[in-house]
Structure 1
Amino acid sequence: MLALACVTASGAFADAQESGRVGAGAPEDIFMEITRAEDGAVTIAPEEFTLAHGGYYRFNVVCPEALTSETGYHFEATELLENAHIRVLSVGEVDIEFYMQGLTFRAIECDDAGSARFSFHPMRKGVYPIHVRDQAVPPTEAFGRVVVE
């Protein structure tokens, strides 16, 4: 599944979204997996996403490891969220959904294995940073980016 997720996120399917046109229908799924490397560092895969301006996407943040509030991960993409129209935020494998209709949220935190996802339309072209950190003192961090063309 991760191989498919990486292909989807790498932009191989970005041609299905047309830049400058607000997407309709079902969102295109993209996945980011947060794990810990052998040396203890936080890692994300993939590190970059290329999206179409106005496209319709569902960003899946996946934390596959057993975690606690002391070892969990904190995901932020503040600038992307500020420049996107948020539609739906979903939590876990159960059908718990928050219909945002343009409202925003600040972060996603994984304190156990699981996933959260949000569907959105990127409304401004640009390069937006992704920041993921763990709860260690000092925290270890991983960085990625979303490119909206």
Structure 2
Amino acid sequence: MKPIAAALALFLAGPALAQTQESGRVGSGAPEDIFMEVTHGDDGAPVLSQDEFTLAHGGYYRFNLVCPEELTSETGFHFEATELLENAHIRVLSVAETDLEFYMQGLSFRAIECDDAGTARFSFHPMRKGVYPIYVRDQSIPPKEVFGRIIVE
């Protein structure tokens, strides 16, 4: 009886355990949401709500790029995390609203542009440990830039 009770307890706890990301173990279940909001600062430069994220190697995450302001193609933002994308297994790309564009290159994408208020997101497994830069710029000439980073442990 005890082995059956233990197996049942593990089965029922499964969804709760799936939220814990463990380095070196490819995650399963629902991805853990990560949010980064990009807005304009007083000087017009992009401002990130968070500029550093620490993730578990092999974990399962959904990165949400949130652009809450009304934007145009002249006032929007351009997001890149090239090195992370080169070292991750991309699962799903999605756009919650219109005028958010994914630029595809091979089996991955290289950038997301916010040309209006909305959210774009991608779910992924980081497959290599390291520190990966995040680059966000506006559409001005020369562009105003801001940098963040993702640390995969």
**What TM-score do you get using the length of structure 2 for normalisation?**
0.81
Q: Distance in 1 between matches of 2:20 and 2:57?
A: 12
The reply to whether residue 49 of structure 1 matches residue 50 of structure 2 is no
Q: Which amino acid aligns with 1:21?
A: R
* Alignment gaps of 5+ in structure 2: 1-18
State the 4+ residue runs in structure 1 displaced beyond 4 angstroms: none
Corresponding position of 1:58: 62
Q: C-alpha displacement at 1:119, in angstroms?
A: 0.1
The reply to whether residue 134 of structure 1 matches residue 138 of structure 2 is yes
Q: C-alpha displacement at 1:93, in angstroms?
A: 4.5
Q: Which has the larger radius of gyration?
A: 2
Q: Which amino acid aligns with 1:110?
A: C
1:20-31 maps to which residues of 2 (within 5 A)? 20-31=24-35
Q: Secondary structure at the match of 1:79?
A: helix
CA distances 1:94-116 after superposition (whole Å, capped 9, x unpaired): 8xxx9xxx931000000000010
Number of matched pairs: 130
Q: Which amino acid aligns with 1:80?
A: L
The reply to whether residue 40 of structure 1 matches residue 44 of structure 2 is yes
Corresponding position of 2:4: none
1:45-124 maps to which residues of 2 (within 5 A)? 45-93=49-97, 103-124=107-128
Q: Distance in 2 between matches of 1:114 and 1:27?
A: 20
Q: Which amino acid aligns with 1:103?
A: L
Q: Which amino acid aligns with 2:141?
A: V
Q: Which amino acid aligns with 1:72?
A: G
Q: Distance in 2 between matches of 1:110 and 1:40?
A: 15
* Alignment gaps of 5+ in structure 1: 1-14
Q: Which amino acid aligns with 1:50?
A: T
